[in-house]
Chains A and B, each alone.
Chain A
Amino acid sequence: MKSVSKAKIGLWLIFAFSFLPLACHAVVYLQEDAFVSNSLGQSPEDAKRIWLRGTLKDQVAEILGHPYPALRLKYWQDESRSLWILEEIGKERPITLGVLVGPAGVEQTKILVYRESRGGEVRFPSFLQQFESSQLTPDNELDRSIDGVSGATLSVRAVKRLVRMALFLHSQLGAATSNHGGK
């Protein structure tokens, strides 16, 4: 009987403590500096800048469904590849995503910072690997279907939009670049 009572108390305690308010926190999975260095072998000071204005701004807004909340973007570039660190709101908080784009499409994607309380499964390679070698279609959509993650629908959509944006920006380099700052 005592063990049954203890079990009941234990169950009630678990029941009571499980009614917790939802909490949000930012988790930094990879520093920007480290992503730039590991992916492209460059330092953050090698960044170039591209201004989001005119048709470039409009086309990015079309991809995201809203204007990108910055006037310009930093990116890193070598002979054939470009690296972008972009942010997009998943459900309520921004997700920071690093995207390395090469001649054959996306080479690497990494969730750098995740701030939502749920849906962080999008950081796992099993999801992000789907983007490797992806490219844009003529109407700026991804050339493949991406399997979602249960319980992370909005985060998945945000990541897809950012990958499309990175691919688009890569395709625009040379047409609208502005080298400002850096070494």
Chain B
Amino acid sequence: MVASRSTGGSSYLAMRRFHFWTGVVSALVVALLTITGILLGHSQELGLDKRFVTSSFLLDWYGVRAPERFNRFTSGAANLVDTGNMVLLNGRALEAVSDRVTGAVKTADMLVVSSDGQLGFFTDQGELIEKVQVHNVSRIGLNSKGLLVVEQAAGVRGYDLNAFAWADLDKDADLAGVIWSEPERIAADQAPEALRLSLQNRVSLERFLQELHSGRIFGPVGVWVVDLTAIVLLVQILSGLLLWNTLKNR
């Protein structure tokens, strides 16, 4: 009798210690999950997807940094600035261009912007007309006949801007007198509006909270910690029930 009571008592104490310490260890993560979970549950009402992180520490964590120099392309009335993470045309974001800009050419009725993965054709107001997938464009230019000349790693091609189709290129005739689009490297403070826009609205509060909630903000280990906490909570349900049952039967 004495032996069974002491065995039951020591098991109870061990269970109680286990329950206590797992609770203590997981408390911070549980609190974080609770708060972020409640906020995310009301994300739309709170407009969290339309509100953005402004903390420079957090923006640094996400790799959002103020660039020191920009590439500027000028062609006719078009002034295009590539900040490295954003492209602006005459001060307005050109959202259809998400890769590094390699050239910008203004014709009578459109603006052609080349980037690493595409040729984009835009109206004067920056509306995208359409785009063509094309790779490794190092630069573009216009020849005297209005043919768009596209230089890629594999060679030079011609693009007919009237037919919106690739055109045969006579290297001797068509490449003579090509005016190539070249970037001008400028200090970021020479384009203050571009600098300001390139830093804002990059990480929404919703995204930040989602990644905090899942633990992803801390990388794979963060996810494992959240998963482990969830398992601990499940185990605590069992240990809590056992403790309650033991007390009830005493």
Contacts and interface: CB of A to CB of B under 8 A. Distances in A.
Contacts of B220: 18
A20 B128 contact: no
A71 B130 contact: yes
A72 B96 contact: no
Contact of A181 (B99, B127, B165, B216): B165
Q: Summarize A's interface: helix, strand, loop or mixed.
A: loop
A96 to B, nearest CB: 8
Interface string A107-120: 00000010100100
Tier of interface size on chain B: 20 to 34
A180 B164 contact: yes
B211 to A, nearest CB: 8
A174 B136 CA distance: 36
Contact of B130 (A31, A72, A115, A118): A72
Given A18-B221, A181-B165, A94 B63 contact: no
Contact of A182 (B165, B207, B211): B165
Q: By CB atoms of chain A within 10 A, which of B61, B131, B165 has the most?
A: B165
Tier of interface size on chain A: 20 to 34
Nearest to A151: B214
Contacts of B96: 69-70
Contact of A20 (B131, B133, B211, B219): B219
Nearest to B64: A21
B165 A49 contact: no
B55 to A, nearest CB: 15
Contact of A74 (B98, B123, B130, B218): B130
Given A18-B221, A26-B99, A115-B98, A70 B164 contact: no
Interface of B: 61-63, 95-96, 98-99, 117, 123, 127-131, 133, 163-166, 207, 211, 216, 218-222
Interface of A: 14-15, 18-23, 26, 28, 31-33, 45, 49, 69-74, 91-94, 113, 115, 118, 180-183
